[in-house]
């Protein structure tokens, strides 16, 4: 006869007694061999590992291996130390802490970075001011002939624009020394008196072409209102310049 049949053949009160004893025994076993070890394990105190100098991922792994959680709670700027390394921790190393608790760490933030702005076409003074506002400095000035950038303006920077640098880093600027031989940038004559514009063009080796008189009430007579080529265009010595002046 199977155990189930024997159990069913017993009087009801015996079955209740056996069921109660079975439940009690199961609870006792679970309590002693499962729940109590878990509770005791959770209350276990362990020595806190030394995490200082470790990177964030290394510190997290070391804390986990020792039975703890890790939380980054702040940053401190120290350019000389590795980025994101642990500079301090709480609790301190070798202190006793319950398993599963959290170790709080403060991480190193390296030197603050600044993005190098676009400087091409700016005068030297404008470029220096913009770099200063970005927390950067100028290391040196070089020169280079340029047909597209005005004399004294920035042709290039080293490193180039868009690069992220540590604040206080130095940048080398290359300034235009003017157009290559025989070439020049067309000067801006608009708003200048004709008597002043004509000798300036002749001095640069340009030829004065047509001078057209136009009615302009808001300008003094003889003021340059239009010019061809336009200001900033690359021209050659001997090129002709046409002007329109107020009458």
- DSSP letters, 112-167, are PEEEPPP-TT-BHHHHHHHHHHTT-EEEEEEEE--SSS-TTBEEEEESPTT-EEET
**How far is Cα 108 from Cα 112, in angstroms, rounded to an integer?**
11
pLDDT at 42: 56
For every one of its 247 residues, what pLDDT tens digit does the chain have, with 9 covering 90 and above?
A: 455 666 566 666 666 655 666 665 565 566 555 555 555 455 688 999 999 999 999 999 999 999 999 999 988 878 777 878 999 999 999 999 999 999 999 998 877 788 899 999 999 999 999 999 988 999 999 888 887 788 888 999 999 888 888 888 999 999 888 777 777 778 889 999 999 999 888 888 899 999 999 998 888 999 999 999 988 787 888 899 999 999 8
**How far is Cα 17 from Cα 31, in angstroms, rounded to an integer?**
21
pLDDT at 202: 87
**How far is Cα 136 from Cα 127, in angstroms, rounded to an integer?**
11
Beta strands 240-246 and 224-228 are antiparallel
- Residue 206: in which H helix or E strand, if any? none
* Assigned token pair, 51: 């995490």
CA distances from 119 to 60, 114, 115, 174 (A): 43, 14, 12, 10
Residues sharing a CB contact under 8 Å with residue 100, sequence separation 6 or more, in sequence order: 42, 67, 68, 69
pLDDT at 63: 95
Q: Judge contact between 148 and 180, C-beta under 8 A.
A: no
pLDDT at 92: 95
Bond preceding residue 17 cis, omega within 30 of 0: no
Q: Judge contact between 227 and 242, C-beta under 8 A.
A: yes
Q: 3-state class of 28 per DSSP?
A: helix
pTM comes to 0.40
Q: Give the DSSP letter string of 35-96.
A: IHHHHHHHT-EEEPP--TT-BHHHHHHHHHHTT-EEEEEEEEE-TTSPTTBEEEEESPTT-E
pLDDT at 24: 59
Residues sharing a CB contact under 8 Å with residue 170, sequence separation 6 or more, in sequence order: 136, 137, 138, 139
pLDDT at 65: 94
Q: Judge contact between 154 and 121, C-beta under 8 A.
A: yes
pLDDT at 145: 82
pLDDT at 39: 52
**How far is Cα 49 from Cα 67, in angstroms, rounded to an integer?**
10
Instruction: Work out the burial of residue 197: count CB atoms within 10 Å of its CB; fewer than 13 is exposed, 13-18 middle, 19 or more buried.
Output: buried
pLDDT at 52: 93
């Amino acid at each position: 006869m199977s155990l189930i049949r024997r159990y069913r053949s017993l009087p009801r009160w015996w079955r209740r007694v056996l069921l109660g004893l079975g439940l009690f025994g199961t609870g006792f076993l679970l309590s002693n061999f499962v729940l109590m070890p878990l509770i005791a394990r959770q209350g276990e105190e362990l020595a806190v590992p030394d995490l200082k100098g470790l990177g964030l991922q290394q510190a997290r792994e070391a804390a986990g291996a020792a039975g703890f959680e890790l939380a980054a709670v702040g940053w401190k700027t120290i350019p000389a130390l590795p980025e994101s390394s642990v500079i301090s921790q709480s609790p301190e190393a070798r202190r006793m802490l319950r398993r599963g608790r959290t170790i709080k760490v403060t991480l190193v933030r390296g030197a603050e970075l600044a993005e190098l702005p676009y400087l091409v076409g700016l005068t030297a003074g404008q470029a220096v001011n913009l770099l200063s506002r970005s927390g950067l400095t100028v290391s040196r000035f070089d020169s280079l002939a340029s047909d597209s950038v005005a004399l004294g303006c920035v042709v290039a920077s080293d490193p180039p624009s868009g690069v992220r640098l540590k604040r206080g880093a130095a940048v080398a600027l290359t300034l235009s020394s003017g157009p290559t031989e025989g070439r020049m940038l067309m000067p801006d004559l608009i708003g200048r008196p004709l008597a002043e514009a004509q000798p300036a063009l002749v001095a640069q080796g340009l030829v004065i072409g047509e001078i057209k008189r136009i009615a302009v009430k808001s300008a003094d007579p003889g003021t340059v209102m239009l010019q061809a080529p336009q200001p900033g265009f690359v021209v050659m010595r001997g090129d002709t310049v046409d002007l329109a002046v107020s009458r």
